Amino acid sequence: MARRYSVQFDNVSNATGTYAIALVNSISTVQAARARIYDFIIGSRASVADNACTYNFQRFTAAGTSTAFTPVALDPGDAASLAASGVNATVTPTYTANAYLLNISANQRATFRWIAAPGSELVIPATTANGIGVKGTPTTAFNVDGSILFEE
């Protein structure tokens, strides 16, 4: 049975300049396990305002620079994740052109969630430094909170 993990981002700006709100990537081909993103939740605790933002899931081949976040196992009995994750990137990952996996537009007032049907997850290949990042393109930047759930 697949092991499931959570990556959380807390009070992170969705400004275009931060390049990635959150990301998940393979550490090494040795792991021989693909990470699969199956759930994404995002909302904002900032003061109420009408700001729109488009969130893009895009593939990358190098992770750039971000604040490392150790994925939390949903089952405490599971081993540590073989994948790495980060939040609030300050140096852009090397995104693959046109490799958009999911584009969503949402208002700051709404809490938004995307869930994959079993077998339809966003798959990260077991190739070193390959991963998927979530980028924000807002009309006016605001801070967001949320989680990415993945299995491997």
Partner 1 sequence: MAKIAGGILCDDHQIADTKQCVHCGRHWQWEHGSGKVRGYCMNCGGITCGNKRCHKCIPWEKKLELYEKGKLKTLC
Q: Is 87 exposed, middle or buried (0-12, 13-18, 19+ CB in 10 A)?
A: buried
CA distance 57 to 148: 11
Closest CA to 6 of 119, 83, 65, 110: 83
Nearer of residues 73 and 94 to partner 1, judged by Cβ:
94
CB distance 133 to 90 below 8 Å: no
CB nearer partner 1, residue 54 or residue 73: 54
Name the minimum Å distance from CB 67 to partner 1: 26
Of the pair 7, 122, the CB lying nearest partner 1 is at: 122
Distance in Å, CB of 32 to partner 1, minimum = 9
Q: How many residues does the chain have?
A: 152
Binding residues (CB under 8 A) for partner 1: these are: 29, 34, 59, 96, 98-104, 106, 110-117, 120, 122-123, 125-127
Minimum gap (Å) between residue 57 Cβ and partner 1: 8
Do 4 and 74 contact (CB within 8 A), yes or no?
yes
Q: How far is the CB of 76 from partner 1 (least distance, A)?
A: 27
Query: Residue 43 or residue 138: which is nearer to partner 1 going by CB?
Result: 43
